[in-house]
Chains A and B, each alone.
Chain A
Amino acid sequence: MKKIVFAILALTIVFACKDDNENDTVEAGTINLEFTNSIDNTPITLNSTSYTNASNESYTIAELKYIISNIVFIKENGDEFTYPVEDSYFLINEEISSSKQISLNDIEAGVYTKIRFGFGVDQSNYPLNGVANFIPTAEEQGMLWSWSAGYKFLKFEGSFTPQGGTAGDFILHIGSHGEALDNYKEITLDLTNTITINGNTSTISIDADIAKIFDSTNTHSLEDKSDIQVDPDNAPKIATNVQTMFEIQ
Chain B
Amino acid sequence: MRYFVLIGLFIFFFTSCSSDKGEYVPIDQNPKLEFEIPSNFPDLDYDINSNPPTEKGFELGKKLFYDGRLASDGVVSCGFCHIQDFAFTHHTHIVSHGVDGALGTRNAQPLHNLAFMKEFTWDGAAMHLDLQPIIPITAEVEMNETFAGIIKKIEEQPEYVQLFELAFENKEINSENILRALSQFMIMMVSANTKYDKIERNEGAVFTEQEAAGFDLFNSKCASCHAGTLFTDQSYRNNGLPIDPQYNDIGRKRVTGLASDIYKFKVPTLRNIELTFPYMHDGRLKTLQDVLDHYSDGMTDSETLDPLFKNADNTIKGIPMTQEEKDQIIAFLKTLTDDDFLNDNRFSEF
B148 CB contact (under 8 Å) in A126, A130, A136: A136
The distance in angstroms between the C-alpha atoms of A56 and B179, with both chains bound, is 47
Q: Which residues of A contact B130 (CB under 8 A)?
A: 126-127, 132
The distance in angstroms between the C-alpha atoms of A73 and B255, with both chains bound, is 34
The distance in angstroms between the C-alpha atoms of A228 and B111, with both chains bound, is 34
13 A-B interface contacts by CB (under 8 A): A2-B2, A5-B6, A9-B10, A16-B16, A16-B17, A126-B130, A127-B179, A131-B176, A139-B147, A144-B134, A146-B138, A149-B128, A180-B258
Q: Pick from B71-79, B118-126, B271-279 the stretch touching chain A.
A: B118-126
Cβ of A62 within 8 Å of any chain B Cβ, yes or no, is no
Q: Which residues of B contact A10 (CB under 8 A)?
A: 9
Contact with B along A137-153 (1 / 0, CB 8 A): 00110001011111000
Chain B proximity of A183: nearest CB distance (Å): 11
Cβ of B254 within 8 Å of any chain A Cβ, yes or no, is yes
The distance in angstroms between the C-alpha atoms of A120 and B305, with both chains bound, is 35
Interface centre among B119, B176, B258 (most CB of A within 10 A): B176
Q: Pick from A96-104, A206-214, A230-238 the stretch touching chain B.
A: A230-238
The distance in angstroms between the C-alpha atoms of A5 and B10, with both chains bound, is 12
Whether A13 and B12, one on each chain, are in contact in the complex, defined by CB atoms closer than 8 angstroms, is: yes
Cβ of A249 within 8 Å of any chain B Cβ, yes or no, is no
The distance in angstroms between the C-alpha atoms of A55 and B17, with both chains bound, is 65
Q: Which residues of B contact A131 (CB under 8 A)?
A: 176
Whether A17 and B17, one on each chain, are in contact in the complex, defined by CB atoms closer than 8 angstroms, is: yes
Residue of A nearest to B17 (CB): A17
How many A residues face the partner with a CB closer than 8 A?
Answer: 37
B139 CB contact (under 8 Å) in A146, A177, A178, A231: A146
Q: Which residues of B contact A16 (CB under 8 A)?
A: 13, 16-17
The distance in angstroms between the C-alpha atoms of A13 and B10, with both chains bound, is 9
Interface residue tally on B, bucketed by range? 35 or more
Cβ of B158 within 8 Å of any chain A Cβ, yes or no, is no
Known: A230-B254, A230-B257. A128 touches B125 (CB 8 A): no
Contact with A along B246-290 (1 / 0, CB 8 A): 000000001111100000000000000000000000000000000
Q: Which residues of A contact B9 (CB under 8 A)?
A: 6, 9-10, 13
Q: Which residues of A contact B179 (CB under 8 A)?
A: 127, 132
Whether B256 and A177, one on each chain, are in contact in the complex, defined by CB atoms closer than 8 angstroms, is: yes
Contact with A along B104-125 (1 / 0, CB 8 A): 0000000000000011000011
Known: A136-B146, A140-B146, A148-B135. A177 touches B255 (CB 8 A): yes
Chain A proximity of B37: nearest CB distance (Å): 21
The distance in angstroms between the C-alpha atoms of A24 and B195, with both chains bound, is 70
The 6 A-B residue pairs with the shortest CB-CB distance in the complex, in nearest-first order: A149-B131, A127-B130, A132-B176, A149-B126, A180-B256, A136-B148
Cβ of B348 within 8 Å of any chain A Cβ, yes or no, is no
B127 CB contact (under 8 Å) in A136, A149, A230: A149
Residue of A nearest to B140 (CB): A146
Residue of A nearest to B254 (CB): A147
Whether A148 and B126, one on each chain, are in contact in the complex, defined by CB atoms closer than 8 angstroms, is: yes
Interface centre among A17, A139, A178 (most CB of B within 10 A): A178
Whether B139 and A147, one on each chain, are in contact in the complex, defined by CB atoms closer than 8 angstroms, is: yes
The distance in angstroms between the C-alpha atoms of A147 and B10, with both chains bound, is 60
Q: Which residues of A contact B299 (CB under 8 A)?
A: none
Chain A proximity of B163: nearest CB distance (Å): 18
Whether B131 and A126, one on each chain, are in contact in the complex, defined by CB atoms closer than 8 angstroms, is: yes
Whether A178 and B124, one on each chain, are in contact in the complex, defined by CB atoms closer than 8 angstroms, is: yes
Cβ of B154 within 8 Å of any chain A Cβ, yes or no, is no
A147 CB contact (under 8 Å) in B6, B13, B125: B125
Interface residues of B in 165-223 (CB under 8 A from A): 174-176, 179
Cβ of A202 within 8 Å of any chain B Cβ, yes or no, is no
A135 CB contact (under 8 Å) in B16, B50, B134, B258: B134
Interface residues of A in 165-179 (CB under 8 A from B): 177-179
